[in-house]
Each structure stands twice: as structure tokens, then as C-alpha cells.
Amino acid sequence: DKPTYGIHGTPDPSKIGKTESHGCVRLTNWDARELAKLVSPGVTVEFVGGPTIAEVGGTSTDEFTQQ
């Protein structure tokens, strides 16, 4: 079996970019709502290497929400 990961929102944006879950992808609630509009249930998600928001000094308001 392949591992599974949750992609979900959090009501506390200060937790974005911090290790506080068990492998989930945590978004702000508003980003999670926007993402849900753009994808279908069961869509395949591929995680690729790259810097995290915390590593590049970003905030919870990233490029995705500003488009």
C-alpha cells in the first residue's frame, strides 16, 4: 500500500510552515477552500522536492492565493 496524506485547512494561520502534523499538508482555510474549487475528489497529487514556505521566508499568504 502507498502512504496517504491529508490536505486540509487550519483555522490558525500561524501554524503554516511549521512541523505540527503527522505528514499532512496544512493550508490556511481560505487556501483549502480555493484548492477544493480547482480539483476533483480523488485527483492524483505528486509531491516533489523543493523549498518549503518556511525555508524561503514566506508567510501563509503565498503566490497561490494572490493569483
Each residue's pLDDT, cut to its tens digit, for the chain (67 residues) gives 777 788 889 888 888 877 776 778 888 999 999 999 999 988 888 877 766 655 655 554 444 443 3
pLDDT score at 13? 83
Catalytic residues: 8, 24
pLDDT score at 37? 93
pLDDT score at 34? 94
Q: Alpha-carbon distance 39 to 52, whole Å?
A: 22
Q: Alpha-carbon distance 33 to 48, whole Å?
A: 22
pLDDT score at 60? 46
Residue 63: other Cβ atoms inside 10 A: 7
The three three-digit cell numbers of residue 53, written as one number: 514556505
